Amino acid sequence: MPKSTIRFTSFPRTEPPPDFVPRLITAFRSCESAISTEKLDKGLTSDGVLPELSPALVELGFEVERGKHKADRIERPVARVPHPPS
């Protein structure tokens, strides 16, 4: 098996990575030949990587956006912090 080009780190570095990280790395490695920038003439955009990686992520229980249209996106609330008056 060729050496993987996948590299990762987790924070804080003084703590071990969360329990899900090894499964996540396995998911990336399963798609590595299709998404690796070292093995392709031209790297993929995030829109090119997502279809390759999303089945493995969904299998792990992640929610994955299906596209750019509003119906395909995952809505996440964003807290807005008011700026102090200048």
Tell me the pTM: 0.70
Asked if 15 and 33 touch (Cβ cutoff 8 Å), the reply is no
Asked if 56 and 31 touch (Cβ cutoff 8 Å), the reply is yes
- At residue 2, does pLDDT exceed 70? no
Q: Tell me the pLDDT tens digit for each residue of 36-66.
A: 877 667 777 888 888 899 999 999 999 988 8
User: Which among 64, 70, 2, 71 is positioned nearest to 39, based on CA atoms?
Assistant: 2
* Structure-block tokens of residue 67: 């596209």
